[in-house]
Amino acid sequence: MQTTELVRFKKLGKQITVLTAWDAISSSIVEASGADVVLVGDSLGMVVLGHATTLPVTLDQMLHHTQAVCRGFCNPLSKQPLVVCDLPFLSYQCGEDKAVEAAGNLLKNSCASAVKLEGAEPETLLVIKRLIRMGIPVMGHLGLTPQSVHQLGYKSQAKDPDSQNKILRDSKMLQESGCFAIVVEHIPEEIAGRIRKQLRIPVIGIGAGNDCDGQVRVTADILGLSHEQPPFAKPLLPGRELCINALKKWIESTNPSQENPTIKTSELKSDY
């Protein structure tokens, strides 16, 4: 799958599906699900590494996990999903040269074909243009941008007319700078719809309603594996409970005399 396919999907009106993966097991599951794109998101900082934010994630960690994701695929290369890797905090905010080195390192040493980065400030647009001139496709990310958590928090964005006009302008700038798609996170559906209509490139939403060209989700949220989930990421499976019960059953079976009853889903507390 190539980045240009996604623009074709938009033209055809086919909804694009993007799921995160962080290791070989998760990528083999996501690949088998038929998702179009695997995002190695820096949300792995929280989901996998146990950090409170995405900020501590390093470039080496992103590369390490992206390589594992790539090793997990079972299909031949031509049938594999497109792999997009997040550029972690401070790998692109310090200038174009550093960003090219970081993004180039990810593409050179893994099967990722593109990077994602957050924001559309003038400095960021320069970075995006330079990456694209160097042959590195870029996915943008607007709205709730977790690397700016200390400025924006995890609240929904684009609620007042000024910030709505800004995100509409920013999304155009990202398209003009050459992004092949953008993620819009935690913004009103109406604004996501307006962005979708004004752009040729696909707009992939998370917590942005259904009027988008596609959707992205953190796989651990959908599977109900995460300790805490954002309000817009409803689990489709009680994953934690299923896993805990299966493991309890195994423990019980290895020592049948031990009192270790299988717990009921309703008895499980989130801090289990």
Give me the active site residues, please: 185
Residue 87, helix vs strand vs coil:
coil
- Of 99, 199, 206, 208, the residue at the interface with ligand KIV (CB under 6 A) is 206
Distance from C-alpha of 226 to C-alpha of 238, rounded to nearest angstrom: 10
Q: Which residues contact 233 (CB under 8 A, 6 or more apart)?
A: 206, 207, 217, 218, 221, 222
Minimum gap (Å) between residue 240 Cβ and ligand KIV = 19
| Among the listed residues 3, 43, 156, 164, the single contact to ligand KIV using CB under 6 A | 43
| Binding segment (CB under 6 A) for ligand KIV, from list 38-46, 130-138, 160-168, 170-178 | 38-46
Which residue in the set 3, 22, 41, 62 belongs to the binding site for ligand KIV (CB under 6 A)?
A: 41
* Smallest distance from ligand KIV to CB 253, Å: 36
Of residues 64 and 248, the one with the C-beta less far from ligand KIV: 64
CB of 105 or CB of 229, closer to ligand KIV: 229
20 makes contact with ligand KIV (CB under 6 A): yes
Distance (Å, whole) CA 131 – CA 140: 12
Under rule CB under 6 A, residue 202 binds ligand KIV: no
Both structure tokens of 232:
């817009």
Alpha-helix residue ranges (DSSP H) falling in the chain = 3-12, 24-33, 44-47, 59-72, 96-108, 122-133, 149-152, 161-177, 189-198, 219-222, 239-254
Q: Which is nearer to ligand KIV, 234 or 249 (CB)?
A: 234
Query: Which positions from 135 through 194 interact with ligand KIV, judged by CB under 6 A?
Result: 183, 185
- Closer to ligand KIV by Cβ: residue 147 or 164: 147
- Residue 42 binds to ligand KIV (criterion: CB under 6 A): yes
Question: Residue 184's beta-bridge partner residues?
Answer: 142, 205
3-class DSSP assignment, residue 169:
helix
